[in-house]
Every structure is written in C-alpha cells, then in structure tokens.
Amino acid sequence: MIDPILLAVLRGGLEQVAEEMDTVLAASAISPVISDAWDRASGIFHPETGDVIVQGSTGMPIFIVVMQHTVQEVLKDHPPESMREGDVFIINDPYRGGTHTMDVKFVKPYFRDGKLKLLLANTGHWPDVGGMTPGGFTPASTDVYQEGLRFPPVKIYEEGKLNVSLLKVMLCNMRLAEERRGDMAAQVNALDLGCKRLDELFDRYEERLIYEAISELDSRSERLMREHIAQIPDGTYQFEEQMDSDGVDPGPVRIAVTMKVFGSEIEFDLSDSAPQRRGPVNSPYSSSVTGLMIAMKHVFADVPINAGCFRPFHYVIPSGNMFNPIAPAPVSCSTTETVQRLIGITMGALAQALPGKVPAGSFGTGSNIGMGGNSPTRGPYATIFYFGGGYGASVDHDGLTNGSTLISASRNSSIEVLEHSVPLLFTRYAVRDESGGAGEYRGGLGVEIDFHLRDGTAYLTLVGDRGLKGPHGLCGGSDGLAADHVFHRQGKSFKSEHGTKIDRLYIAAGDGIRMRTPGGGGYGDPGLRARDRILDDVLDGYVADPDNPLAKSKV
C-alpha cells in the first residue's frame, strides 16, 4: 500500500505535467480558438492499454474518453514494440476514436533509458482542415469527406525526423496553411515539454512508486464512482428531447436515453434515438460515450478522471444509430450540438433518479460561427468562434448566465481578439433579458450578440440548435427561451430555413447576424421566489415585462 502523502504528491506531479502541456499549447498556438478559447486538452496514457492516467483540469471535457480511444487506435496500428524514441503520431479520424475532423490529435511515446514508459497526447481544434466550408463546421454536409482531411494514425515524426511529404499534402489541402503549421508546432512542442517534465518526475521518484501510484489512483477513482452510483436507487430512468433538424432534411430529430441503475453500475441505452441522419448531427461512438460520462461528471464532480471511473458503465448504442453512425456519415456538428444535447437528456434522467441534486436544463448549443473570406485590410482568413448561454437553476441557486458549453471548460470567444484577427465589428454583446426560465430559482440568461463584416466579402456558417424549444424547467420551474437568430444581408433581415443552422451565407461589408442564445430552465415554483431576488432581477433589467411570472410572484 503506497503512502497516502506520497500518493498525493505523485498525483499532483502527474497532473502538473498535463496542466503544463495545456498551458504551453494555449500560449503558443496560432488559432484563437485554441489560444484564447482553450479548445484543447492534454493527457498521460498507459503505454500498453492506452488507458487515460491523468488529463489537464482546464482541457475540454469532450476529450475525457475520446483521447483514450484515440490513443488506443494508435496502439492498434502501432503496437508498443514498434514505437521508437522521437516518434509522433497524428490522427483526427472521427471514426477512430474521434469527434469531428477539426479536432487534431498528436500522440508521442515517452522513453526512458531506451524503454517505452508512457504515452503523451494532446488535441487542438484547428479552424480548418480543408473541406467545403471555411472554419470546418458545416450543417449541410452529407458525408464525412466533405468535412475535411481525415488522418488515420500515421507518423508525422519518425525518430525525430519530420515527415515533410505528409506535411506538404496536409497543408496543400488546408486554408491558411502556415497558421495550421503553427498550431501543429504548438502541439508538438507541448508534448516535448511533457517528456521533459516526466524526466524530472522519474529523476525524483523510483519508477516502481510512480507505477504503484498510477494503479492506486485508477482503483480509487473506480471505487469512488461506484460509491456514488450505489447511492442512486436501482431502476430505469428515461428522458428524451428533439433537436431542431439535421441541417439537411427538415423536421425534428429524436434523441432519447434509458438509464438502468443496478447496484454500483449503470447501463446507458440510446437505441430509441433516431437512426443516423443524412445531415451532420451524427455523433461518433467515442463522442457519444464521452457525452454520457460528462453528464456523470457534472453530477459527481469529485471523481478524478482516469480509466478507472469509466469501468462501472455499459453502453447499448446500435450501429447505424445517430449516436454510433456508420462511415462515411457526416459528423461535423457532433460535439457542439449533438453531444451537448445528449448531456442534457442524460442529466434529465439523472434528475429523476436524484431529485434535488441535478439542475434544470441548460442552453445546450454551441452556436458556432465559421467564417472565411478575403479582406482588403487583413488578407485571407478562416476562423471559428462560439458563444455561451444560460445554465439551469438548481435547488438552491439561480443558473449561471453566459456559461460555456456543457462539453467544455473553454472560455467564450473574446470579441476583442476576434475583431483583431478578422474584419468583424461587434455592435452588441449583452445579457439576453428574460431568457431564463422562471422559478423559485431562475434559470441563467443567454446572450444577445450583433456583429457585421467590416470590409471585403466572406462566407458565414452557423451551426446551432435549441431553436424549437428551450431548456426544460424542474419542479414547477418554467423552460428557458429557445435560440433566436436573424441574418442581415443587403439591407434585408431574414431567418434561416433551419432556424439555427445556415451554410456558407455569402456576405459583404455591412452584412451580419443578430444571435440570441437560450436561457436555462427554472427550478421550483415561481411563487416561492424570494422578494429580494425578484427586485434584483427587475433592477438589473433581467425582468422587464410586468406580466412575467417572476414579477408576478412578488405581489
């Protein structure tokens, strides 16, 4: 049995390696979505099984299972005995432990004294990997080939030597190739730093103790997760919602989860969700499993992330289901929209199982903007950015206003950085009044954003959802408001056929969009809301309509 103090020190040492890799990646990446919004993750993995040992706390949660599956896919094609010091592998295939093509992952073996000891990996969201839409996200693709280059697990560095031919092919097919080269360099440099920090850790402690700590941390995480699950009453819990459309065919898309709790284990069944769609709302298996785990992490936040905490769970996700599509089905919107909604319905089922311990529904959409064009002042560009919305209220707190997406720990896009990097002018970025659901505790508020193109021409793409129905309230609380987006072009205003989705809208200087993101659901009877909270809402401008249930409840 390892000494508990030493265990804590070694855990901190391993986590610090991952944290520093994340920090270096964000500090040195070219793309604002990585450097400013922190759409990235780093981790340490077992050299034989690929199991995750630790991941950085500020990395995107969407990668907690995905990166383990990614590393395991690398090991399938490149077993440990074939790896050499200085090798670095690149992979972004959504169908091989991935998400969508824009999430590009690098894996590097860590050697010591000529022997493989651990694997390091990171992910960065590249704003463009080719494909038909600038910025990568598209609501209109009908197969994965339209979504950019796919890399199986291949060596981008072999024994320290760059594969120049592969890099040339990659960059030849990507917009703003030199920026992508810079993002790749940032990811590789972060892995190099990770190896140096591991050298320092192995210099300080016996190898035997480090591996004992890794094994004990794995066991403790599994035990803690099982203890939490055992507190949930055995039974079957179900929840379902609809997505607006798949972006190609009109009409809502059903998503449903059945959660079966037995003892210290849970089975998630997604069989009742829609079959895979023609449009890109399909979610690869690894993304779907990660979404289910993020929902559990939202409720049981104290469980450390490693492979141990995944073991109590089982999955029924049939092949050909939208949560386990068959290639080459399109998957561009999988993480920003589909997985977020999966987290939401899973938390809806958990709210039935654990009343009072799970918040109401959250905004659940990335509202991603992709843009590419040519500016007479800045030259060519391609970028992506996204905005927050309202979280659901809980049994004793109002919901968070303008929170980040449920799949992430990333920061909302900085308008100052965006205006500096692309020719946009933001004329409004404000709280969306009255968007949170009423309740004893009010849902968090969404945001309202106006921006337009300053000069040149561009193609604008919006990938969103939650336009048909807002996030659900709980225990008498009302739903939050749904998304509401209006486009402005050539002096006219209009809404998209798909409401929350539009692909490659051609715009010129002065054209733009007004975005209104959803608010969170309310919790509890609005008539029980405390008078001081009501007055604060009115004074802050959150409640302007005297007929609003929040205002009524003060009488």
pLDDT tens, position by position, 524-534: 999 999 999 99
Q: Which amino acid is at 102?
A: M
Burial class (CB in 10 A: 0-12, 13-18, 19+), 159: exposed
- Rounded-to-10 torsion of CA 349, 351, 355, 356: 170
Q: What pLDDT score was predicted for residue 549? A: 53
Residue 544: predicted pLDDT: 67
Q: Please, which pLDDT band fits residue 553 given cuts at 50, 70 and 90?
A: very low
**Of 263-272, 320-329, 375-384, 458-467, where does mean pLDDT reach its minimum?**
375-384
Is residue 250 over pLDDT 70?
A: yes
3-state secondary structure 2-27: CCHHHHHHHHHHHHHHHHHHHHHHHH
Bridge partners (DSSP) listed for residue 269: 258, 316
Give the pLDDT band of residue 408 (cuts 50, 70, 90): low
Query: By CB neighbour count within 10 A (0-12 exposed, 13-18 middle, 19+ buried), where does 435 fall?
Result: buried
Q: What is 148-215 written as a DSSP string? A: -----SEEEEETTEE-HHHHHHHHHTSSSHHHHHHHHHHHHHHHHHHHHHHHHHHHHS-HHHHHHHHH
pLDDT tens digits, 257-303: 999 999 999 999 999 999 999 999 999 999 999 999 999 999 999 99
Q: What is the pLDDT of residue 15?
A: 97
Q: Is there a contact between 324 and 487 (Cβ–Cβ < 8 Å)?
A: no
Higher pLDDT, 545 or 374: 374
Nearest to 410 by CA among 20, 17, 16, 26: 26
Cα–Cα distance between 227 and 231 in angstroms, integer?
7
| pLDDT attached to residue 1 | 79
Locate 393 and state its tokens: 């209220």
Three-class SS state of 44:
strand
Rounded to 10°, the helix 340-353/285-299 angle is 40
Confidence of residue 554 (pLDDT cuts 50, 70, 90): very low
Containing 28, the helix (H) or strand (E) segment is helix 4-28
pLDDT of residue 60: 85
Residue 273: predicted pLDDT: 98
* CA pair distance 358, 352, nearest whole angstrom: 9
Geometric angle at alpha carbon 415, from 409 and 417, rounded to 5°: 85
Q: Residue 424's pLDDT is what?
A: 96
Q: Which helix (H) or strand (E) holds 457?
A: strand 457-463
Which pair of structure tokens corresponds to residue 39?
């759409």
Whether 306 and 312 have beta carbons less than 8 Å apart is answered as no
Name the pLDDT band for 18 (thresholds 50, 70, 90).
very high
pLDDT exceeds 50 at position 134: yes
DSSP H or E segment with residue 417: helix 415-421
- The predicted structure's pLDDT at residue 555: 34
Q: What sign does the dihedral 492-417-127-58 (CA atoms) show?
A: negative
pLDDT, position 409: 59
Q: Residue 37's pLDDT is what?
A: 83
Tell me what pLDDT residue 413 has: 72
Judged on CB neighbours under 10 Å (0-12, 13-18, 19+), 139 is buried
CA–CA–CA angle 346, 358, 323 (5° rounding): 10
CA atoms of 288 and 277, how far apart (whole Å): 15
Residue at token pair 């074939």: 82
Choose among 434, 545, 515: nearest CA to 481.
Answer: 434
Least confident of 17-21, 56-60, 184-188, 482-486: 56-60
Over residues 96-119, the pLDDT tens digits come to 999 999 999 999 999 999 999 999
Residue 412 — pLDDT band, cuts 50, 70, 90?
confident
* Cα distances (angstroms) measured from residue 328 to each of 99, 324, 336: 13, 12, 19
- Average pLDDT on 330-346 reads 95
For 6, list phi and psi in degrees, rounded to 5. Answer: -65, -40
Whether residue 472 has pLDDT greater than 50: yes
Number of H helices, E strands in the chain: 11, 20
Name which of 233, 252, 230, 231 is nearest 241 in CA terms.
Answer: 252
Which pLDDT does position 272 carry in this prediction?
98
